[in-house]
Amino acid sequence: MAQRIDKELEEFRQVMEVPSSFEEGFNWTSLLGAIFVALLMVPGAIYMGLLAGVENIGSASQWVTVILFIEVAKRAQKTLKRAEIFVLFFMAAAALGMPFSGLIWNQFFACSDAAIAAGIAEHLPRWFAPPAGSESYALRTFMHKDWLPVIGMVIFGMFFGQLSNMVLGYGLFRLASDIERLPFPMAPIGAQGVMALAEDSDEKGAEEGEGRWRWRVFSIGGALGLVFGTLYLLLPTLTGALTGNPIQLFPIPFSDFTPQTGEYLPAVATGLSWDFGNIIFGMVLPFFAMVGSFVGLIATVVLNPLLHAVGVLRNWVPGDSTIGTLYKNNIDFFFSFNIGLALAIALAGFYQVIRSFQGRRKTAGGEPVRLAPAGRGDIRPFIVVVVYFLVTITYILVSGWMVDWHRGIMIVLLFLGFVYTPVISYVTARLEGMVGQVVEVPYIREAALILSGYRGVAVWFLPIPMANYGQMAIFYKQCELTGTRFPSIWKTQVILFPIILLSSIFFMNFIWSLNEVPSAVYPYAEMMWKLNAENACIMFSSTLGEYSIFEEAFNVLYIAIGAVFGVALFGAMNTLGAPIMLTYGVVRGLGGVMPHWVIPQFIGALIGRYYFQKRLGLRWRQYIPVVSAGFACGMGLITTVGVGITFLSKASIPLPF
């Protein structure tokens, strides 16, 4: 029987087509773009991530960079091609990768109450963070000899991680796109914004009647981002910098209603995020994915009080905040239940891939293999294989040396590097190509390390040869949709490597020197990092060789319940002919998810579906990704202003007279 065609995914597939020609996108303009991002955007992204946890700040910085360079090019009587714009866009994102961003988290975790109470802090390896007595903590600086092993490990991981990600991701794209001919329905979402800017840059094309709807729509989104960003981010940034007391019109990161609603909804985390970006995000993603998330959330609201009543969620007490409620629920039930749900997702992903193979065989082998388009800049397959082998062996040797060639760990490294990684990467590439979803086998790394017999926590911070390169396939598809030659991307990575390293370590050090992290100056980090540290200790404590938080949270029965429930859900949805994204959304909404983001996203989905899409039809699917890109750009512009003023105020030197 042929596979059922999902109508919603078909809408995404029809948005863009692969162009007939490809252009070189790398030039000196790209290099200037990288330097611009490294000097101006990186500090802003770091600062706002700590202040508000704004996950799209990197995206915002990308749009700011690209628009600035388009305007400069216009003044110079030049036009940026869409390939050049895509490379600038990619370069801005890569420059914001911030490999040393983890150092601020490392210093916090090493001295955190959670790590000390769990007995983890004293066992942390030198390549994760210096010991608690290091003077670097008092000086608040990474420019200290005690941080050299940590910095060296970051550089090692960045180099081999980027090399493998680029080359192996390309190989999987060739398999999924050229050989399997999969449509990659979600790829146009990322490419549409670039096309909008290319359309604006090419004024001649607009004069010839091609229309400039993308730029008009992008401008609307930009105006929304500027207005909301001023109220949500600029005001607390400036008041915090000038007075030390941030004024927030909208609570950051969210309003917490849990202490008040606990009387009526035991063990349920309640609250609301005021970030308008969540509403736009809900419009961008498939409607049924958002509906599923909301259904899953409602199920959690109903389920948690029942679990509390029967003694499963036993640690929750009235008055607990959102953070406390989520952590306690995680320990009592959802840690194990989520493992089971994730197993069900993985099984569903494998099932879809197997079924697609069967469908191809029943249709006389499926579509013919597509030859690589001329001018795209492809490389020979054997290079992909050689790079994969060399990178994996290097990871194994370095990790083995760090743990004195522990036999159990060496077996784990070989399994993860040469068995799990290629299998999961290929399955993910095909699933991305079919329905725009990623598949992961949950806690496979954690289970393997626990079963290895190793005692201590150093094993959790090894450069393990485990990755899911299938997610890069969609990036190469976007590159193809914009007509960009692949070598442009590879050249860009080579140039970016030293720039990213220098800017990241410099600004991380500068921001840590300004204030303690976390502290009241950074409300998001102050609220969320404590929860993140407590959750991290659950897993890290599992290899200490004594009773741990992990043993309390790990429950085989709850894992089985989650897996059976997930499989039954996928089976029922498939039998009823429900949209694919609805099923994934329900699973996402279950498992102790925070309603603070799900509710505004669902509201956005309803507005998009029942107002804008009714009025605009299929064009809405073309418009909303561009609106989202414009909104991110507006937020980025206003953020840049706020962070610039903050840094100026902090860097001022008082005169002695």
Tell me the three state secondary structure of residue 256: strand
Q: Which of 72-81, 164-173, 191-200, 486-495 has the lowest mean pLDDT?
A: 191-200
- Who has greater pLDDT, 345 or 505? 505
Highest mean pLDDT, choosing among 51-60, 430-439, 520-529:
520-529
Burial annotation 271-310 (CB, 10 A radius, 16+ → b, else e)? bbbbbbbbbbbbbbbbbbbbbbbbbbbeebeebbeebbee
The yes-or-no verdict on residue 209 having pLDDT over 50 is no
Q: What are phi and psi of 227, to 5 degrees?
A: -65, -50
Contact in structure between 199 and 214 (CB atoms under 8 Å): yes
What is the structure's pLDDT at 391? 93
Q: Once rounded to an integer, what is the mean pLDDT over residues 367-383?
A: 73
DSSP tag of 419: I
347: Cα within 13 Å, side-chain hemisphere? 16
- Radius of gyration of the CA atoms of the chain, in A: 25
Residues in the chain: 657
Q: Sort 82 into a burial class: Cβ within 10 Å, 0-12 / 13-18 / 19+.
A: buried
Residues paired with residue 271 on neighbouring β-strands, in sequence order: 256
Indicate the pLDDT class of residue 621, thresholds 50, 70 and 90: confident
Share the mean pLDDT of the chain: 78
pLDDT digits (tens, 9 = 90+) for 181-204: 777 766 776 666 666 666 555 554
The yes-or-no verdict on residue 276 having pLDDT over 90 is no
- Who has greater pLDDT, 160 or 290? 160
End-to-end CA distance of the chain: 85
Highest mean pLDDT, choosing among 249-253, 556-560, 631-635:
556-560
- Who has greater pLDDT, 470 or 590? 470
Tell me the three state secondary structure of residue 271: strand
Indicate the pLDDT class of residue 533, thresholds 50, 70 and 90: confident
Indicate the pLDDT class of residue 410, thresholds 50, 70 and 90: very high
The yes-or-no verdict on residue 525 having pLDDT over 90 is no
pLDDT digits (tens, 9 = 90+) for 215-257: 788 788 888 988 998 888 788 877 876 776 777 888 877 888 9
3-state helix, strand, coil in the chain (%, to 5): 70, 0, 25
Contact in structure between 554 and 336 (CB atoms under 8 Å): yes
User: What is the domain partition of the chain in residue ranges?
Assistant: 22-649
What is the structure's pLDDT at 352? 66
Q: Which residues contact 526 (CB under 8 A, 6 or more apart)?
A: 518, 519, 520
The yes-or-no verdict on residue 467 having pLDDT over 50 is yes
What is the structure's pLDDT at 603? 92
Tell me the three state secondary structure of residue 262: coil
What is the structure's pLDDT at 206? 45
Judging by DSSP bridges, how do beta strands 271-272 and 255-256 pair with one another? antiparallel
Alpha helix segments (H runs only) across 230-315: 235-243, 258-261, 277-284, 287-309
Q: Which of 296-300, 361-365, 445-449 has the lowest mean pLDDT?
A: 361-365
- Who has greater pLDDT, 132 or 158? 158
- Who has greater pLDDT, 130 or 62? 130
What is the structure's pLDDT at 3? 46
Q: Once rounded to an integer, what is the mean pLDDT over residues 11-30?
A: 69
Highest mean pLDDT, choosing among 469-473, 621-625, 626-630, 642-646:
469-473
What is the structure's pLDDT at 392? 93
What is the structure's pLDDT at 656? 41
